[in-house]
Amino acid sequence: MFWNTPQKVSVPPTCDYSNLASSLPDPPKNQRWEHNETTKEWKLVPSIVDDGPEAKVQAADEGVPVTSSSSCIYHKVLPTDTFQGICLRYKVTATDLRRANKMMGTNLKLAPSNLLIPIKGGVSKLDQKQTKELTTEQKIAAILSATSTREEGTKKMGYSEARAYLELNDGDLNGAIANAKEDLGWSSSIQMST
């Protein structure tokens, strides 16, 4: 009879990893193996190549090495980063960023912890943006905003005064703002004493 037949007991396969002694395969070019101590996993991350005197630091706060011989920089992925934000920040297309990091989608949780950012011509767009000089009009606007108050209708300094402070400091924006704030503080202390 069918209900009296013995049933087979299924046991899932097990594997003993204690006797595995083979090492990891050699990593691809410009990558290295990184071991995560908490998860006990190994993953490939881009290796930072130091070319000696040619290597420079892109920004002091980020500490991202940029080599003049290579056409890429590295970005450490933060929890607040988005894929589109990184594309906009470094002015690269999403396709180029995905191709450089061998990614299929835009999920940064699946991306390497240090993203490889390709740059065209060996010069970072960020470096070009940081060296761009402000125009006189932009400097005057910065002086006016730095010396303005939050009270409605009270204007501490006019356009011509801001321009004069800038000319007196030979175009030095920080010096012009410091002098303007110093003079405005002096004039307000005189007005309060009278």
Dihedral Cα 49, 55, 56, 62, nearest 10 deg: 10
Quick one: pLDDT at residue 83? 92
Q: Are 97 and 83 in contact (CB under 8 A)?
A: yes
Quick one: pLDDT at residue 21? 59
Q: Are 92 and 118 in contact (CB under 8 A)?
A: yes
Of 182, 141, 135, 181, residue with least CA distance to 158: 141
Q: Are 185 and 158 in contact (CB under 8 A)?
A: no
Integer-rounded Cα Rg, in Å, for the chain is 30
Rounded average pLDDT over 71-80: 83
For residue 115, give both structure tokens: 């993203």
Give the whole-number percent of the chain exceeding pLDDT 70.
62
Q: DSSP per residue over 13-39, as a string? A: -----TT--PPPPPPPTTEEEEEETTT
Q: Are 73 and 66 in contact (CB under 8 A)?
A: yes
Examine the pLDDT at 154 and tell me if it is beyond 70: no
pTM of the predicted protein model: 0.32
Quick one: pLDDT at residue 41? 79
Q: Please state the domain extents for the chain.
A: 31-128, 133-193
Q: What is the pLDDT of residues 86-131, one digit of tens each?
A: 999 888 899 989 988 888 888 888 888 888 888 875 445 554 454 4
